[in-house]
Chain A
Amino acid sequence: MAGTDYGSLALWAVILAAGVGTFAFRFSFIALFGRLDDVPEGVERALRFVPAAVLAALVAPDLVYADGAVAFTPANPRLLAGAVAAAVAWRTEDIAATLVAGMATLWMLAFAVP
């Protein structure tokens, strides 16, 4: 098991700083909203694209990278499992079904291709 040189005090400081900052992000516009007249129209139009852009940015590197390098080939089990999961998500729009399909594909590939 990997150890860390971090002491308890340093860990708590990191956790609190990260937690307070993250809460400030979450609270920012929700806190301000009643005091602003309205969200500017340009901002509102941009916000429509937030889920698609951010979620894709979160997912893509996890699927495309294998052992630290871009592996855009069928031999990359995560890319293949991700493609199957995406197809299931598209057909069912169901998170549990997507999860089961993706993990099952990954496990089958890991089992079949040792």
Chain B
Amino acid sequence: MSSPRTDFLSGVRVSVPILLGIVPFGMVAGVAAVGAGIPAVEALAMSVVIFAGASQLAAAELVGRNAPAVVVVFTVLVINLRMVMYSASIAPYFARQSARWKAGLSYLLTDQAYAVSLLQFERDEETSRRWYYLGVAVPLWVVWQMATVAGIALGSGVPDGWQLDFAVPLVFLAVLVPAVTDRATAAAALVGGGVAVVANGLPYNLGLITAAVVGIVTGLLVEEVA
């Protein structure tokens, strides 16, 4: 039987391993912010207001290098442009929520909440969209903030030798691999990754967006041919 409570709890269950992954990620975000000279309150505000790890890391790095404010904001937005695609992709499932709920659910939208929820929504029509999504997204938000605070508290006390920043691509990798289900998605991933490597030097992280667009077009073309 599907009820708000059981749907919320099954969302929580699925989020647990993801939480293990974002703890080091959040700590790295906190450590990086403090390392760049950002005061603790502002460092935590980045996590609460922006709530998007990769872009927070980029912002901290640029602030540390005294890049112009416009460049910092622009870089954060370019990195987070993919959220528009997630928003479009998940929107049909939230169509019947009130405007206020839509705003709240949107604030919690992340790579992980998107990927996990979409998978479940496609698989099971019965699941309560709102409660399952909240079950995944709310623990992610809480743990992310706690991990950031832990990172801020540790400051630069974490030795670089631990290479905790490597947890970031590993989490993305763990979500990426199951997303590759056929030739077309494999082509999208290979070309997206390849272009990202080649275009890595582009300013303002434009390489990421270029790679995403080229990868998506490749997937469409391969699907057309197959």
Contact = CB atoms under 8 A, between A and B. Distances in A.
A16 B48 CA distance: 10
Given A15-B49, A51-B176, A78-B166, A56 B66 contact: no
Nearest to B20: A96
Chain B contact-residue range equals: 35 or more
Given A12-B45, A25-B77, A31-B102, A49 B163 contact: no
B83 A86 contact: no
A99 B21 contact: yes
Contact of A110 (B18, B89, B163, B175): B163
Contacts of B64: 2, 4
Contacts of B20: 95-96, 99
B11 interface: no
Instruction: Specify the main secondary structure of chain A where it touches its partner.
Output: helix
A47 to B, nearest CB: 4
A6 to B, nearest CB: 5
B216 A49 contact: yes
Contacts of B188: 49, 52-53, 56
B196 A60 contact: yes
A52 to B, nearest CB: 4
Interface string B185-226: 110111111111100100000011001111110111001000
21 contacts: A1-B35, A6-B37, A6-B38, A6-B66, A15-B42, A21-B77, A22-B52, A33-B92, A45-B223, A49-B219, A50-B216, A51-B179, A57-B193, A57-B215, A60-B197, A65-B200, A86-B173, A90-B177, A95-B175, A98-B170, A102-B170
B66 A4 contact: yes
A93 B18 CA distance: 12
A3 interface: yes
Interface of A: 1-6, 8, 10-19, 21-23, 25-34, 39, 43, 45-65, 70, 78, 81-82, 85-86, 89-90, 93-99, 102-103, 106-107, 110
Contacts of B45: 12, 15
B contacts with A: majority SS: helix
Interface stretch (B1-9, B68-76, B142-150): B68-76
A16 B102 CA distance: 20
The 4 A-B pairs of least Cβ separation, nearest first, read A53-B215, A60-B193, A49-B219, A19-B49
A59 B169 contact: yes
Contacts of A17: 69, 73
A45 B220 contact: yes
B220 A56 contact: no
